[in-house]
Structure 1
């Protein structure tokens, strides 16, 4: 046993994942970037450990072996090492691999101070100190763009705008200037069906490489609108920050095993939730080409830990996201490794997640859409943690970007707020996906089912296919929203006599007004604008012929 010997913790992490994904707008290179990001936890660390310590396996434990792979996933890795020289060699090996094979991806590693393996809770303290040490190390190094200098004068990459490294024939009959970063992503994706990245992403999507290739081509060349989805688990930072309260024994071995099993269970739950969400779209008829038998137009880019970044055809982005969030809750609640650990903190039984969905034109810059989706998740959907405290609560927030000149969330929501004697918010977001049972007043009108019900009322059609609520009347109501609550409700009153039995009462949800508020301190809110924006992006598969949600 190694009870009285010092141990060091090595933490490796890819920092600029968002920039690495979004520096190009080409779907193939974005998919290739997704593959290269996973190399840190899937290849480079394991290969480095095998070179430094021949015979290494995942079953090695630090009590009996010189190293132990503690955790990998989501572009990061944590390794226990006995001696400082091996720890530094590991960081050198992995970061050099990143420089050679994934130019532009910033990978940073730190070697923690030695701690006594026999001291209870020492590993928890080492993890906390290593995470603190990563930030100053990263900021002290020049960024990856410093490697791509423009003197002497060089041609510009046709894809990324970075300095070109060579003229490359990536398409038949064409030679284009390409940067080293672009070429690395292209190789990771594969020219046809042979790329590792295409195979891995196809496995995540539950299909074959050739089928996922058709999805990439469809999203790049045929789709009119696409949804960029960014989802993240709620409260994971707090769980890992206080994981010492989730273990059954204060010893470091129990802590290490709990960390490993909990992290693996979260990743398994996210993958299972993704597969379930894709299958739900297939059942609704989202398959390309051959109907339900064709590939579903969803491209997973990041699916590691509790993080999900995906591109989806616009018509299916919202149903996919809602299905993923619901499935993530179920799978985490059904995992003994997760439920048992959370129960010791009097939390759970499972985890929740929040998501942002930016629905944009297919050729809109991916970097901007990715940022908008992230802001929708962090600045809006995550509000539910404060609004619905104490229980797991999943929610999503979305925006359909018709005005491509301004994708700033703060300005978008400012335009959807009517100031005056009383503040009126023209969006009811975020929408709660969880079935909470006993709900606080704030949730009223903000359930996912409420949005579906309102969209069903807006989209309702008669037996001959005519709209029950004419488009002209709906747009008059929409314009009135921006003139204030009294004006909008006045126009509503003019319509009630004629359209109350044609879906208008369903749109109101039993109220006498388009607006509601949960308390006198809250602004007035309406869900009409959300419903009208979401109508064309909640696929026909969600509703029956009369516009009623299934």
Structure 2
């Protein structure tokens, strides 16, 4: 028996190598097809086993209910363990079948998706390895096949060598690769129409796959009467439809990724053996397949849940308004199908990965909703008769929790900002968010992080500097931090009972709910309904004072804050901007308990087998931080806070009018 591995490399570079959204969409679709359609059609041609289906749910069921290659009553010659975007793992009966499947898949990819870097290898399993999971683990066959893949990939030329420039060839206007075609029409104006028509083979197939990508991803929401935006212009038009006067001229790149799952897959065989000491290799392979498909389904369900949470009410209002308009205009005549265009374009959705472009106005609430939904979906109980009944014990063994977690980076930029640079920024932001795992440590296992979801974001007002490290360095003042990112999304009730005291204190200080409360406080309307309770010029003055140091900021705050201390209602409304500061300052005798925009920073120390109790936990040294600047940055990008402020404004105006009438 042979183990076959096919895997693409350089996926991010292939997808985001140009700034054309249509090519990004098509490239993602080509990567998806490589590990699914191309592979499964090759399996069908080589072995006569039909597993491919254009509907993703049907394909998953086909994979889950395969006939085992070890079934003595069957003549089956192949069993597909994984078939996902850009990756496939199979068991085959003989060397010839392994070679034939690799040859067919790589050849079809070379023809249909030039530029995709796909490589396939195989390793023989001995009789002992086929019958004993312990022997399979001991032989490190999983590591060996990946080492083999690395060696084969290193020995052959990369995909760039496929596109020679001799004889001298003009280059493609979008990819920079040698041009091969002249486009029959130019969809965008250009100062040089002859040059703009030149197109490389890679760009050609990416554009061609875009429509397939749109059809496949729109299947997820077609029963709701929705569809995703086709391009940035349609995305902006959809986002601005609700209020044409509101500035929503921002787009966001949201990149989310699961925490710790790479290590889970690498050590998956060991977790299977720990749970069942008598497990066989076939159990390992079937559970690996079930885990992979379960993860796909959880991510997809979390994505749909986030769409409903973020856009559901708005989309239904659009549908009702359109239906009324059509009834009034047509006087009962039948009309064509109408679908609400969501201001979002999915680029990657599979495994534990999610990458979307969406309206900047909705990016932060959508991302928070996705992370919460991902935790909820992966934490749901699995029935004993479910094909996923072994998944939850594996998750518990690997991560010390009944659920998974994920982190996300959100880069919010202007619409025509280079897409590839925005994606790079989102990647750096997710790296920052993933640093959470070093701070949130399990109370049951001091060597393991506890699954904790977090967001880091940046709104790029200054496009001259997109280096995150440099940006954050500028937000340090005399040892203090002028930011509170990343923000923890996981519910505090979950963390309080499962993580160390220092970890909980850090997570509480950095919790998403505090950012939401601060934004609501900044948007709180004045009693007469004219402007905000904390006037824009005062908020701006406080913002500027942060860059002059903590003492100067506190002095500036004292000049303003006394105006609000007179009214208990005003004081309570603005208290979220300061609420933890006075308590923390009093406990450390710093600032003598005065109100401040700063608070002592919690920096969890390296944990020991004897963790501190809650009463022993304390903030670190003299370093302080503020979330005020984060809140000012997020104003305008948190619709729920805006809605809350609008409702408050209506209530305040009505109350003010009643007071005037009474007087």
TM-score by length of 2: 0.76
- Structure 1, unaligned stretches of length 5 or more? 1-6, 190-194
Higher mean alpha-carbon deviation, 10-19 vs 218-227, is at 218-227
Larger mean Cα displacement after TM superposition, 243-252 or 270-279: 243-252
C-alpha spacing 1:120/1:229, structure 2 compared with 1 (3 Å): same
Aligned ranges 1:151-162 → 2 under 5 Å: 151-162=166-177
Residue 192 (structure 1) aligns with: none
**1:399 partnered with 2:406:** no
| Residue among 21, 24, 48 paired with 1:27 | 21
Larger Rg: 2
Q: Which residue of 2 aligns with 1:537?
A: 637
Query: 1:297-308 residue pairs with structure 2 within 5 A?
Result: 297-308=343-354
| Structure 1 segment 350-499 matched on structure 2, within 5 A | 350-378=403-431, 380-390=432-442, 391-418=450-477, 420=478, 423-437=479-493, 438=496, 440-462=504-526, 463-499=528-564
Pair 1:526–1:171, CA change in 2 (3 A): same
- CA distance in 2 between partners of 1:487 and 1:324 (Å): 39
Q: 1:245 aligns with which of 271, 288, 291?
A: 271
1:66 is matched with which residue?
77
Aligned equivalent of 2:296: 267
Is 1:341 aligned to residue 394 of structure 2? yes
Q: Is 1:88 aligned with 2:111?
A: no
| Residues 229, 343 of structure 2: 8 Å contact kept | no
Map 1:105-184 onto structure 2 (within 5 A).
105-116=116-127, 117-124=130-137, 125-171=140-186, 176-184=197-205
Q: Report if aligned partners of 2:520, 2:645 keep a CA contact under 8 Å in 1.
A: no
Shift in alpha-carbon separation, 1:468–1:129, aligned structure 2, 3 A = same
- Of 553, 560, 574, which residue of structure 2 is paired with 1:504? 574
Cα separation, 1, equivalents of 2:371 and 2:316: 21
Q: 1:74 to 1:226 in 2, by over 3 A?
A: same
CA contact under 8 A between 1:460 and 1:547: conserved in structure 2?
no
1:331 aligns with 2:377: yes
232-241 or 396-405: bigger deviation: 232-241
- Comparing 479-488 with 121-130, greater Cα deviation is found at 121-130
Q: CA deviation at 1:312?
A: 0.9
Which residue number in structure 1 is paired with residue 626 of structure 2? Answer: 526
In the other structure, the counterpart of 2:261 is 236
Q: Which runs of 5+ in 2 are unaligned?
A: 52-62, 239-247, 322-338, 383-387, 443-449, 497-502, 582-594, 603-618, 650-663
Whole-angstrom CA distance in 2 between matches of 1:523 and 1:548: 36
CA–CA distance in 2 between the matches of 1:160 and 1:167? 14
Deviations 1:328-359 (A, max 9, x none): 00000115233232234472211000010011
Q: How many angstroms does 1:74 deviate by?
A: 3.3
Deviation at 1:85, TM superposition (A): 2.3
Change (3 A) 1:140 1:536: farther
Report the secondary structure of 1:545's partner residue: helix
Q: Deviation at 1:289?
A: 6.2
Higher mean C-alpha deviation, range 508-517 or range 198-207: 198-207
Could you tell me how far 1:273 is from its partner in structure 2? 0.1
Q: Deviations over 1:283-327 (max 9, x none)?
A: 352689658972321211111110111111100000000000000
Change (3 A) 1:28 1:346: closer
Structure 2 residue 212 is the aligned partner of structure 1 residue 196: yes
1:110 match: secondary structure: strand
1:265–1:170 CA distance, 2 compared to 1 (3 A): farther
Residues 215 and 298, structure 1, Cα contact 8 Å, conserved in 2: no
**Any conservation in 1 of the 2:492–2:508 contact (CA below 8 Å)?**
no
* Structure 1 residue matching 2:463: 3-state secondary structure: coil
Please state whether the residue corresponding to 1:79 is helix, strand or coil. Answer: strand
CA RMSD, Structure 1 to Structure 2 (Å):
2.6
Which one is further off, 272-281 or 217-226?
A: 217-226
TM-score (norm 1): 0.90
Q: Could you tell me which residue of structure 2 aligns to residue 513 of structure 1?
A: 596
**Segment of structure 1 superposing worse, 204-213 or 315-324:** 204-213
- Larger deviation: 54-63 or 364-373? 54-63
CA distance in 1, matches of 2:49, 2:232: 39
Q: Could you tell me whether the CA contact under 8 Å between 1:205 and 1:299 is conserved in 2?
A: no
In structure 2, the partner of 1:4 is none
Q: Per-residue CA shift, 1:34-65, capped at 9, x if unaligned?
A: 21111022201101111111245541322142
Residue in structure 2 matching 1:187, options 202, 205, 208: 208
How many Å separate the matches in 1 of 2:31 and 2:530? 48
State the 1:127 CA deviation: 2.2
Moved more, 208-217 or 314-323: 208-217
> In the TM superposition, what is the alpha-carbon distance from 1:547 to its structure 2 partner?
7.8
Q: Distance in 2 between matches of 1:305 and 1:432?
A: 22
